[in-house]
Amino acid sequence: MTSPMTSPMRETSRARPEDLPEEQDIMQSNTTFYQILGFNGEGAFGKVATCIDLNTSETVAIKIHKGHKDEFIEREVAMLKAVSVLDPNKNNIVRFIDDFTYHGHFCLAFEMLDMSLLDLLKKRQWKPLNLNELRPVTHQLLVAFEALKSIGIMHTDLKPDNVMLVNHKDQPFKIKLIDFGLATHSSKMEVGLMMQTAAYRAPEVNLGLPLTESVDMWSVGCILAFLYFGADLFPYRYHVEYEDRRTFLDLLRSCLCPDYDLRITPEEAVKHSFVTMDHLKTAASSYADTAIQLMTVLPAPVAFLNLGDKSGQLICGLRELSEL
């Protein structure tokens, strides 16, 4: 391996914010040196840098984590190595190149891709894809998930941000699946696990039912609808709205219990959190405000007899205002 003229910065055992790399810095892995050309973005995890491999001259994308290697990063690396048994080009999956530590910050190197499907729609000013444009995207996604299923891996975080165009100018609608940070072995799935972005989440996840690779296919359908309509099929606005839906589904399960001895009683149901709105007590959103406002139609003794203190006080105050 040929060493670059500029020496890499000294390795440290602890990650420090001041040690985050800058443009032109050179990072060393066990196999090569990478020089940073620029940054594509920054998130809660850290930065994504555009780099050049000084040995091969290949341009790569390096995900630089703010912190050191932890159990979540180790899980991602394990999934990336498991997926690496698949041909990345035939199966439309991002090519994982390298992993190393730089100044205590764990780094993952991938092939350089173009932009995400979300970026594509933004660039098109949310103009949807037509069916001829959508068809190759559909086929490539299905091939990717067929390949993942064949090795028993579930992605569990499919969304427009995690599907990248390879080179939209030269290879229109050629895509690759990225981000295996939440991927898992299907054999390790447990009932009740929460996963997936809300707008792309399969109903069995919300219902607490057994989970299989089919949760990814639900997300595929949601992505195709997003690309065709230019908007999410199941839009998600507030976290509290999701929590409210969960409490409602829990009440439904309790009412529809096949065993009549275990079925919820009226006395129990009126104290259920969907009715009492306990989960809305500290919520600061128009959704929670509307929920409380609509409960003012109940007769005064009923409206806050079984509600939490804050919800009951708010309803009482709203009623008094309406009577002025």
Q: Where are the domains of the chain?
A: 17-111, 115-229, 262-322
Q: Model's pTM, two decimal places? A: 0.75
At a CB cut-off of 8 Å and minimum separation 6, what does 17 contact?
Answer: 66
In tens, the pLDDT along 233-284 reads 888 766 788 788 889 989 999 999 999 999 999 999 999 999 999 888 777 7
Give the confidence band of 292 by pLDDT, cuts at 50, 70, 90.
Answer: confident
Checking if the pLDDT of 229 tops 50, the result is: yes
Give the confidence band of 157 by pLDDT, cuts at 50, 70, 90.
Answer: very high
Closest to 143 measured CA to CA, from 88, 92, 183, 81: 92
Give the confidence band of 6 by pLDDT, cuts at 50, 70, 90.
Answer: very low
The whole-number average pLDDT for the span 130-157 is: 98
Fold of domain 17-111: Phosphorylase Kinase; domain 1 (3.30.200)
CA distance 32 to 55: 6
At a CB cut-off of 8 Å and minimum separation 6, what does 76 contact?
Answer: 108, 180, 181, 183
Amino acid making up residue 261: D
CA distance 294 to 288: 10
CA distance 137 to 165: 10
**176 phi and psi, to 5 degrees?**
-145, 145
CA distance 228 to 150: 28
Assigned superfamily of 115-229:
Transferase(Phosphotransferase) domain 1 (1.10.510.10)
Lowest mean pLDDT, pick from 28-37, 156-165, 206-215, 304-313: 304-313
Active-site residue, from 25, 53, 157, 216 = 157
CA distance 243 to 245: 5
Amino acid making up residue 240: V
Q: Does the annotation mark 170 as catalytic?
A: no
CA distance 244 to 280: 8
pLDDT of residue 293: 86
The whole-number average pLDDT for the span 100-120 is: 95
